[in-house]
Amino acid sequence: MSYLILVRHGQSVWNLENRFTGWVDVDLNENGRNQAKKAGELIKQKQINIDLYYSSFQLRAKNTMKIIQEKLDDFKDVQSAWQLNERHYGSLTGLNKDEMKQKLGEYKVHQFRRSWDLRPDPLDKSSSYHPLNIDTYKDIPIDKIADTESLKDTYERVIKYYSDEIENNLKNKNILISAHGNSIRALCKYLFNLDNNQISKLEIPTGNPLLIKFDNDNKILNCEYLETERAKDLLVY
C-alpha cells in the first residue's frame, strides 16, 4: 500500500488578480502561503512518511513545497521538473480573465480554459512573459519550450514524465507532488481514467492536498481532499 498526495500550489499573486498565469513565474501571496501551511498541517496529521517529493520548476509550486516540508519537519531533496509546469496560455498570458470574457465572450474564454485540444494564439517570443525570456527556464532545451499549449499538450508532457519517473515508485513509496491546476488535472485524467468531457469540469482547489491511496498493484483504493470545507467534486469515488 502507498500514497500519492497532489497539491496545487497555494494562491498566487496572479490568481488573486484573476490573470492567466501559465509559465510566468509569479510567487505566492499571503493567503497562498497560509494555504500551504494548512496543507502541511493536514498532511502531518495523517502521519504518512513521504519518501519522494516532486515539484514543477515554478516558484509558486516550489515555495508551496518548501512550506509543507517545514510543517512536516522533513527536508528531503525535491525533484523539480519543468514537465510538471502549468499549461502555457499563449497570447492570453497576463490578461485578466473577466476582461477577456467581456471582449471575447464567456463561452470562448471557457473554451480556451477548459477545452481538450484548443490552443490560444501563440505568445510572441519577444514578450517578457515568454518562457524564453524568464531566467527560471534558461536550462530547458529551447525545442521543449512552447509558445502556447492546449490541455492535451499539457497532458502529454505531464503524463510522460509521470510514467517515466514517478509511477513505478508508487509500488513501495509515498510521494508528494506540488504542481498546478492544469498539470494536476492532467494527472487526475490519467489516474482516474476521465474522458475529455469529464476533465473539462474538474476543478482543482489551491493548497488543498488530494490524498490518493493505492494497493500493492497500483490500483486506487480511495481518495479524499484533506481540507473538506474546500473540497471540489472529483467526479469519481
The pLDDT, as a whole number, for residue 58 is 98
pLDDT tens profile 48-68: 999 999 999 999 999 999 999
Mean pLDDT for the chain overall: 93
Per DSSP, 226 falls in state S
Annotated catalytic residue within 30, 86, 130, 165 = 86
DSSP secondary structure letters along 167-211 = GGGGGT--EEEEE-HHHHHHHHHHHHT--HHHHHH----TT--EE
165 is catalytic: no
Whether pLDDT at 40 is above 90 = yes
Q: What is the spatial distance between Cα 172 and Cα 3, in angstroms, rounded to a whole number?
A: 9
Please, are residues 93 and 26 in contact by the beta-carbon 8 Å criterion?
A: no
What is the Cα–Cα distance from 154 to 180, expressed in whole angstroms?
Answer: 11
Alpha helices in the chain (DSSP H): 13-16, 30-45, 59-72, 97-104, 106-114, 151-161, 181-192, 196-201
Determine the pLDDT at residue 9: 98
Tell the residue number behind the cell numbers 502507498, with chain if given: 2
Phi-psi label, residue 167: left if phi above 0, alpha if psi -120 to 50, beta otherwise: alpha
Name all domains of the chain by residue range, CATH numbers in brackets: 2-155+180-230 (3.40.50.1240)
Evaluate if residue 171 carries a pLDDT over 90.
Answer: no
Q: What is the pLDDT of residue 107?
A: 76
Q: How many CB atoms lie within 10 A of CB 145?
A: 16
**pLDDT (tens digit, 9 = 90+) per residue, 199-235?**
878 889 999 999 999 998 889 999 999 998 888 877 6
Q: What is the pTM of this model?
A: 0.94
| Confidence (pLDDT) at 236 | 56
175-179 and 52-55 beta bridge pairing: parallel
Is residue 110 part of the annotated active site? The answer reads no
Q: Please pick, among 9, 88, 130, 180, the residue that the annotation labels catalytic.
A: 9
pLDDT of residue 30: 98
Residue 102, pLDDT score: 85
Model confidence at 104, in pLDDT bands (50, 70, 90)? confident
